[in-house]
């Protein structure tokens, strides 16, 4: 059985939990407490030298890291990833947008607000990060003006990658009220079959 090393409040880990659940792939969920340095132990670094969750151990023991690479691996050959070459490149375009232009400015503020003390110096990063976070949300809002989902008119892993931190952007100070298309898309994602929430702890198996 697959093992998912993860931290419940991580949107990056949630992407993988959501896809595996929607694909009906059972997995063993192992909580790694990032706030207690459990991704920096010698044991964890031997699995993933970059020291990050989510990390997946496949049935045969092989390891895979980086949430969006894990999504791609499991979505291959399923309706969550299109077959057309250009559409597949668009999925990657949006996933790289997510990791480069969105996650540091939408997810990191949420992390700072929820997990760091009130006097942590990293709180000084918030104003600049939120400016860029709004820019990322505006790019998404514009794209959704004429589309139901991010690529190919169909729900897939580009949506999962972008949904994970967008739907909780308010936790970090990014209110979604100015983005009606985005809010309608969030509702469409949350209405998908076998949807689970970010803080829904996976059942033991």
* Contact call for residues 55 and 64 (beta carbons, < 8 A): yes
CB of 30 to its own copies, least distance (A): 19
Cα separation values, 86 from 106, 173, 200, Å: 27, 35, 34
Is 185 a binder of its own copies (CB under 8 A)?
A: no
CB of 191 to its own copies, least distance (A): 26
Three-state secondary structure call for residue 199: coil
DSSP 8-state secondary structure symbol assigned to residue 203: P
Q: Is 167 exposed, middle or buried (0-12, 13-18, 19+ CB in 10 A)?
A: buried
Query: Sign of torsion, CA 145 151 153 158?
Result: negative
Binds its own copies by CB under 8 A, chosen from 1, 23, 35, 69: 69
x/- binding map, residues 108-147, to its own copies, per CB under 8 A?
-------------------------------x--xx----
CB of 29 to its own copies, least distance (A): 20
Binds its own copies by CB under 8 A, chosen from 6, 68, 152, 171: 68
CB of 77 to its own copies, least distance (A): 9
| Helices and strands in the chain, H and E counts | 8, 4
Stretch that binds its own copies, among 13-21, 27-35, 85-93, 179-187 (CB under 8 A): 85-93
Give the C-alpha separation, 10 to 23, whole Å: 20
Is 192 a binder of its own copies (CB under 8 A)?
A: no
* Contact call for residues 7 and 55 (beta carbons, < 8 A): no
Nearer to its own copies by Cβ, of 103 and 171: the residue is 103
Site for its own copies, rule CB under 8 A: 49-50, 52, 58, 62, 64-70, 72-73, 76, 85-86, 88-90, 92-93, 95-97, 99-101, 103-104, 139, 142-143
């Amino acid at each position: 059985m697959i093992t998912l090393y993860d931290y419940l409040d991580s949107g990056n880990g949630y992407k993988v939990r959501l896809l595996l659940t929607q694909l009906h792939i059972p997995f063993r969920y192992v909580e790694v407490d990032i706030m207690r340095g459990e991704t920096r132990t010698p044991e964890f670094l031997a699995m993933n030298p970059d020291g990050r969750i989510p990390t997946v151990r496949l049935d045969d023991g092989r390891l895979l890291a980086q949430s969006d690479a894990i999504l791609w691996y499991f979505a291959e050959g399923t309706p969550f990833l299109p077959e057309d070459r250009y559409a597949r490149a668009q999925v990657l375009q949006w996933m790289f947008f997510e990791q480069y232009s969105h996650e540091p400015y939408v997810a990191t503020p949420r992390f700072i607000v929820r997990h760091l003390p009130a006097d942590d110096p990293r709180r000084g990063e918030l104003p600049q990060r939120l400016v860029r976070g709004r820019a990322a949300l505006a790019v998404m809002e514009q794209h959704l003006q004429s589309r139901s989902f991010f690529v190919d008119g169909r729900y897939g892993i580009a949506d999962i990658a972008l949904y994970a931190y967008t739907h909780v952007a308010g936790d970090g100070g990014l209110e979604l009220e100015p983005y009606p298309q985005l809010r309608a898309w969030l509702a469409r994602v949350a209405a998908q079959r076998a949807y689970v929430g970010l803080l829904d702890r996976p059942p033991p198996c």
